[in-house]
Amino acid sequence: MQGAQTISILNFVTHNGASYKSIDLHFQHFGMQWDKAPVILVNHSLTGDSNVCGPSGWWNEVIGPGLTIDTNKFAILAFNIPGNGFYNQTFEHPEDFHAGDIATLFKLGLDQLGISELYALIGGSIGGGIAWEMAAQFPNLTQRLVPVAADWKASDWIIANTFLQKRILENSKEPLRDARIHAMLCYRNPESLESRFNRSFNEERNCYNVESWLHYHGDKLEQRFALQAYKMVNHLLGTIDITRGQKDFTTVVSSIKADIHLIAIDSDLFFTPLQDQKTYALIKPFKDNIFFHEIASLHGHDAFLIENEKVKHLLTKIFNHPIKHSNYESSTRTY
C-alpha cells in the first residue's frame, strides 16, 4: 500500500515460547515527523489496517489536516496487527500469539523508531484492547489512553463469539462470508437494522434487503481478506487480558500513569457499555485520572466508525484537557 513502511523485529519469542527469527511490522505514518511533534498511535479494529486517513482512510473524517486529530500538529502512526494479511503477511499458528504479544511488538516498533513517549494511544475494538495491553506492559508510555468500544479483557460474551467465529471459519463451506455475516449482527443491533431496512424486500434479488446487505458485507470481506488472517485476528480478540498470569488488576492499573478515557457506545452489543462502567467503577477508587464517556447512537459497536461528528466532539474535549493528574475532575459525558 502506498506510504506503508516496514521494520523488522528480530528474534521474537512469544508468550508460549514460540520463536520467530524475524517478524515484519508494517506501519503507516501521517502528518508531522515523529521526532518533531507529539505522537499519536492509532490501533486499528479487527478487519481494519494502518490506513487511518487520506482518501481511503477508515477514520478520514477524524484524522487529517485541520481535523480533530490534526496532521498539521501531530505525528500519527498506525501499525498493522502482525498476521492481519497486510502485504500478504499471515501466520500458520495464530495460537502462538496473544494480544499482549502484539502490544510488545508495537512497543518494539516504537523503540526502533526512537519514540519513547506518546501524546495519546487510541484504539477501536480489538485495537483498544491492544492499547490497554500496551499501557499495562509499559505504564509510562503514553499521556492519554483512549480505548474506544473496547475493554481491558475479553468478556465471556467476546470469548463466546470468537469461539463461534472460529467454528464457522473451520467448518463452513464459505468461511469468510459466513463469519462476517455473523459478526455484522454483533457490530450492529436490532434497532439499527430495523431503522435502516424496516422489513423492506428486494424484488430483484428475491430476498429481504437486510439479507442482501449481509451478503454484501460477506462478499466484501471475502474479496479483501485472507482466511488465515481472519483466523489470526479473531484468535487475538479472545485473548485480551491485562491480568493474564494471575496479575492483580489493581496493581496493574495503578502503575499506568496515563489519563484513561473510556469511550463506550450506549447501543454496543459487542463490547457492551456495562463492561466499561464496571471498569470505571473498579478503577475510580484508586485512580483519579479515569474518565467514562458514552456516545449515544443507534448503530451499535460500529458507531465509532459511523458517528464521526460525535467522535470528533468527544476527542476534541479529551485532547483539550491538560494532563493534571491530581486535580483533573472526573466526568461522565453522553454525546
CATH number for position 208: 1.10.1740.110
292 and 303 within one domain: yes
93 and 184 within one domain: no
Of 186, 208, 237, the last residue of a domain is 237
Of 220, 237, 254, the last residue of a domain is 237
Q: Which three-class secondary structure state does DSSP give residue 9?
A: strand
Contact 79, 73 (CB under 8 A): no
DSSP string, 92-152: S-GGG--HHHHHHHHHHHHHHTT---BSEEEEETHHHHHHHHHHHHSTTSBSEEEEES--S
186 and 210 within one domain: yes
Can you give the pLDDT at residue 67? 96
Residues spanned by the domain of 37: 4-154+242-334
246 and 228 within one domain: no
For the stretch 157-170, pLDDT in tens is 999 999 999 999 99
280 and 175 within one domain: no
Residue of 50, 40, 72 lying closest to 3 (CA atoms) = 50
Can you give the pLDDT at residue 334? 39
Grid cell at residue 121 = 494511544
147 and 187 within one domain: no
Segments of the chain with pLDDT less than 50: 325-335
Total-model pTM: 0.94
Taking the C-alpha atoms of residue 7 and residue 112, their distance in angstroms, rounded to an integer, is 8
169 and 104 within one domain: no
Can you give the pLDDT at residue 304? 96
110 and 16 within one domain: yes
218 and 231 within one domain: yes
Can you give the pLDDT at residue 320? 81
Indicate the number of domains in the chain.
2
175 and 144 within one domain: no
253 and 170 within one domain: no
**Burial call 95-117: b when 16+ CB within 10 Å, e when fewer:** ebbbbbbbbbbbbbbbeebebee
Of 184, 205, 237, the last residue of a domain is 237
